[in-house]
Chain A
């Protein structure tokens, strides 16, 4: 085995410089360059990276760079600029957008943004919104009707209405993954009953669902029962922090028989995205986002096992 100890750091400086010069980085395969630039993030691409040279600008203009978009606003105060940038990113995808993750949704202008995305992205498969606030968005129903290919809807820290759940069930027949997670209990009105209504709406509308996360949901056994009856294909179910469930009896038994991957109310939140609520950095779980990007990348990276 050749030794790998001859590290570059031990080499004289001139030689090191020579090494830096020997490759013209502009001649790197554009796939590779795109892979790197994509990871820089929407705001840095638009503000910086694409201005480096015409070659990079060309890569950054290619719609395939914008099929997966992950947006976390660097400065929440710049509302108009943030919105303009997001719209610009969506424009660049030229209708090819398949996966979008938005952080700090629900602050300002999101209603407008959601509809903007909906009107231009009929190919969307995954919509992920983090730390968005309650029922402020009036356009949800209208927007969701325009995502007929949606396979995953993930909303974090979000209160959603029964009507929206029904709309999704109706308009997104391919939906396999639904995540409605939050980590903070809110008590107002008859909250358990309203959570049950949502659970019932899920059970009645998502018969093809395979993955469901309802962390922090306050539903009772009634809601869960309808979900188990209505979603026979469910493979994974996350019930962490659902503290109004009583799974000691038959319902608990049924859960563990029916669901392959089950997380119970008292399981630890470890590994849970955004478990800290508002302050988490969206790009921290970047691996997850980028994994998605290359899944969609024309099967370029097929993951057959090594044996």
Chain B
């Protein structure tokens, strides 16, 4: 296979080069390459440059298939902050890189699991937008839990 290179462009217009045979681990890119040869720059309007750099680092990994699972887990473990992981998961969703997305989602889930309600809201900057009526509805539904 010839070592053709593709160029990806992040939301903030930074350019990243990657060899085509590695880039096509992304189903999205693979389909683009199939359709039009993707000779020009591939824009990724929802992925910022820092996240794209991570994705590229992941795609460039040189793991034997049997070590790959461990590598993906370690890769997301090292990026243990929820915002980074969510950006990564979203980029993996857009680029359709299933393994990376699932690993990132799993890691976020693992982190959230240990949080209290307030900690989840704080970590993800979510406001409690439930009205008193909704609070009551939830309490009624879960009477056995209170």
Contacts and interface: CB of A to CB of B under 8 A. Distances in A.
Interface string B8-49: 000000101110000011010010000000000000000000
Contacts, number: 119
A46 B101 CA distance: 24
Chain A's interface: helix, strand, loop or mixed, by majority?
helix
A174 to B, nearest CB: 27
Nearest to B103: A287
Given A48-B116, A52-B121, A301-B98, A36 B105 contact: yes
A286 B106 contact: yes
A29 B86 CA distance: 11
Interface in A258-307: 286-287, 290, 294, 301-304, 306
Given A6-B53, A35-B101, A53-B128, A19 B109 contact: no
Interface of B: 14, 16-18, 24-25, 27, 30, 50, 53-54, 56-57, 60, 69, 81, 83-84, 86-87, 89-90, 93, 96, 98, 101-102, 105-106, 108-110, 112-113, 115-117, 120-121, 124-130, 134, 138, 142, 144-145
Interface of A: 1-4, 6, 8, 19-21, 23-26, 28-29, 31-32, 35-41, 44, 46-49, 51-57, 80-81, 84-85, 286-287, 290, 294, 301-304, 306
Given A26-B126, A32-B90, 8 more contacts: A1-B60, A25-B125, A25-B126, A31-B93, A41-B109, A44-B113, A52-B121, A53-B127
